[in-house]
Amino acid sequence: MGFIWFYIRKMFTLFKCEVLVLPSRVALLVFVVALLLVPVFTQDPYLLWVLILTAIFSIFAASWDLLSGFTGQVNFGHALFFGVAAYTSGLINVYAKVPNFLSIPLAAIAGVLTGLIVGIPCLRLRGTYLALTTLAFPIILTGLIFALPEITGGELGISGLDRLSSSRVYDYYITIVLMLVLTTVMWKITDSNTGILLHAIREDELAVRAGGINTTRYKLLAFCLSGFFAGIAGGLYAHIMRTVGPSTLEVALSFQVIIWSVFGGIVSIYGPVAGVFILFPLAEFLRILPRARMLVFAVLVLLTLIYMPEGLIPWIRNKIEKECPRCKVRSIATRKNCRICAASLD
Amino acid sequence: MAESLLEIVGLGKSFGGLHVTNNVSFQLNQHEIVGLIGPNGAGKTTLLRLIMGILKPSFGSIRFKGKNISGLKTWDIVNLGIACTFQNMRPFRRLPIIANVMVSCMCPRAMKRGEWVKRIEAKAMDALEFAGISDMALEKASTLSQGDLKRLEIARAIGTEPELLLLDEPFGGLSPLETDLMAKSIKRLHKGGRFGRLHSEGPSMIIVEHKLQQLMKIADRILALSFGTLIADGKPDEVVQNPHVIEAYFGEGGI
């Protein structure tokens, strides 16, 4: 028995010294626990519905950040990955009767292939030209969908997909757990050595090449990874809505994801996630003021961007935490000395 | 006679009607430091960029260790063993300094050669230690001064463990004291050996430089370019006495 207690005590000490010392980590913990406990307190279908969509869009926004924030390949047509995946899972579920636990992974694979197809012609482009080219892809695909109404359903889209699971609460848990796992995976990717390379490609591609790195490979990798995660989001969305229409490819959705990410703070996977979790429910609950809805939304986003150009979450994080000038470890802002090396924080 | 490492034959590059580099041919032997001089716009940087594969040559060939490398991608050339620094430094400003060096330590060549230590961070730290900026490893690269940025460029270049190092104005914008220190570092690097976990066999070097006094101290041979053409090739003392070189620098009549 002794060693079990030893490990429990060790875990507790780790928890106390690594999680409880930083307000941002505590906030993350509270957020995760609160998300997992929502159905215990309320099973209001509308609230769960909003939270399910929020979770799906936060995977989507984080995948945009992986491609455009980290790698600097600014993508104005990110809805392409979402729409292709949604249509893939819709088509194979309705026509080939593929069950949903297979159609969502297949949708993710379709996202990867789309990433390759978009990535290869976009390799030579950067900046504004890349953004405009990527903007064109979803518009082309929308045209194709309208041109083939007998397969794609045209403007009405495909309906009658399988439900994701038998009840709303299960739907909720599946999407929330997937969201937590996938965003953690994305955060780990950006935190690894590959993440450093992606960062460096955004800063100066020629210098990375002169360091002996095959930048083409890494840019394609970023496109494929982003397509994979956006594809999972698209597949989930198709099965939650049970209908897939051209709205999944809309330019508005591409720009919505950019607004969410920039609001939350790009180049940090948690920023876009937080951005979606603030803005999407806000836009949804503002439906009680139908006339002022978009106005309130726009004013809020504008004010945030004027006063917090880095985005909301990095701004808050810099207010409640300070970085040690010597060892670069973060400590809570109320401390006078660094919690690791005791250097003065002022 | 040592085996020639780099062999350039009839190399030329033209942008439209402008011949930036014109029929340049020379050989570089192993363990040799070659200085490349010439007035502004003579095509020195273009020549380095042609060797690195950043620009494609219009005609002529570049052979490195007997292998034709003209037309290869930059990263393939780096993985064969050529590294370069840039004249206007190109650090990844928003990344920590150590991450700047880790990028070049992650190239396939460096990963293959780290026989007994595979840790990228450790290797990058040794490169920084050689360059003398390891105490600032965690700072953002945007906080570095001009001289330290030059050192960062060198740390990044030796991270790939090159056999041929192309330095583009390593003394540009440095104070006399910093210039001396940098010249010493370059000499030490040329001698070779082990710098922590980094192994250096003493790379050959091509140094583009305007500070001739410093360059003459460290270079074995000097090439002079003018309007894209090679006008002199020889020992440092001979080249600076060469009337063509004086004319290229100071105009007809000279001093």
A 10 A CB-CB count for A127 gives: 10
Q: Does B250 touch chain A (CB under 8 A)?
A: no
Helix/strand/coil for B13: strand
Calculate mean pLDDT across residues B10-26.
Answer: 88
Q: What is the distance between the alpha carbons of residues B46 and B150, in angstroms, rounded to a whole number?
A: 19
* Residue-wise pLDDT tens digits, B23-62: 899 999 988 999 999 888 888 999 999 999 999 999 899 9
Q: What is the distance between the alpha carbons of residues A71 and A215, in angstroms, rounded to a whole number?
A: 11
Calculate mean pLDDT across residues B68-93.
Answer: 92
Interface test with A, best of B51, B74, B89, B143 (most A CBs within 10 A): B74
CB contact under 8 A, A199 and B52: no
Q: What is the distance between the alpha carbons of residues B203 and B163, in angstroms, rounded to a whole number?
A: 4
CB contact under 8 A, B95 and A199: yes
Q: Does B195 touch chain A (CB under 8 A)?
A: no
Between B78, B94, B120, which is nearest A212 by CB? Answer: B78
Instruction: For residue B253, name the pLDDT band (cuts at 50, 70, 90).
Output: low
Instruction: For residue A296, name the pLDDT band (cuts at 50, 70, 90).
Output: confident
Calculate mean pLDDT across residues B216-245.
Answer: 90
Helix/strand/coil for B163: coil
Q: Does B133 touch chain A (CB under 8 A)?
A: no
Backbone angles phi, psi at A20, to 5 degrees: -75, -15
CB contact under 8 A, B103 and A196: yes
Q: What is the distance between the alpha carbons of residues B234 and B239, in angstroms, rounded to a whole number?
A: 6
Q: Does B106 touch chain A (CB under 8 A)?
A: yes
Q: Give the per-residue pLDDT at B71.
A: 86
Q: Give the per-residue pLDDT at A197.
A: 95
Q: Nearest Cα to B151, choosing from B202, B123, B115, B189?
A: B189
pLDDT at B97 exceeding the cut of 90? yes
Nearest-Cα distance to chain B for A184, in Å, is 22
Between B93, B120, B160, which is nearest A211 by CB? Answer: B160
Q: What is the distance between the alpha carbons of residues A18 and A6, in angstroms, rounded to a whole number?
A: 18
ipTM of the complex: 0.90
Contacts of A209 in chain B (CB under 8 A): 54, 73-75, 78
Between B93, B104, B106, which is nearest A203 by CB? Answer: B93
Q: Give the per-residue pLDDT at A307.
A: 92
Task: Give the residue from chain A lying closest to B156, CA to CA.
Answer: A211
Nearest-Cα distance to chain A for B237, in Å, is 33
Task: Give the residue from chain A lying closest to B51, CA to CA.
Answer: A210
pLDDT at B85 exceeding the cut of 80? yes
Between A197, A206, A328, which is nearest B103 by CB? Answer: A197
Contacts of B55 in chain A (CB under 8 A): none
Give the DSSP H/E element, type plus range, for residue B192. Answer: none
Interface test with B, best of A192, A205, A208 (most B CBs within 10 A): A208
Q: Give the per-residue pLDDT at B120.
A: 87
Contacts of A327 in chain B (CB under 8 A): 138
Question: What is this structure's pTM?
Answer: 0.92
Contacts of A215 in chain B (CB under 8 A): 75
Nearest-Cα distance to chain A for B99, in Å, is 7
* Residue-wise pLDDT tens digits, A177-213: 999 999 999 999 999 999 999 999 999 999 999 999 9
Nearest-Cα distance to chain A for B253, in Å, is 42
Q: Give the per-residue pLDDT at B254.
A: 53
pLDDT at B1 exceeding the cut of 80? no
Helices A100-122 & A128-147 angle (0-180, nearest 10): 130
* Residue-wise pLDDT tens digits, B200-218: 778 999 999 988 888 988 9
Nearest-Cα distance to chain A for B175, in Å, is 25
Q: Does B97 touch chain A (CB under 8 A)?
A: no
Q: What is the distance between the alpha carbons of residues A232 and A226, in angstroms, rounded to a whole number?
A: 10
Task: Give the residue from chain B lying closest to A327, CA to CA.
Answer: B138
**Rounded mean pLDDT of chain A?**
92
Q: Which domains does chain B have, with CATH numbers?
A: 4-90+160-250 (3.40.50.300)
Contacts of B159 in chain A (CB under 8 A): 211
As given in the structure block, the two tokens for residue A234 are: 């698209």
Q: Does B93 touch chain A (CB under 8 A)?
A: yes
Backbone angles phi, psi at A124, to 5 degrees: -85, -10
* Residue-wise pLDDT tens digits, B115-170: 555 688 888 998 999 888 999 999 999 999 988 999 999 999 988 889 999 999 99
Q: Which of A272-276, A286-290, A339-343, B175-179 has the highest mean pLDDT?
A: A272-276
Q: Give the per-residue pLDDT at A346.
A: 79
**A224: which residues sit within 8 A by CB, 6+ positions away?**
A112, A115, A116, A119
Contact map slice: B 135-164 vs A, CB within 8 A: 138, 156, 159-160
Between B75, B102, B110, which is nearest A193 by CB? Answer: B102
Identify whether the C-beta of residue B155 lies closer than 8 Å to the C-beta of residue B130: yes
Q: What is the distance between the alpha carbons of residues A157 and A145, in angstroms, rounded to a whole number?
A: 9
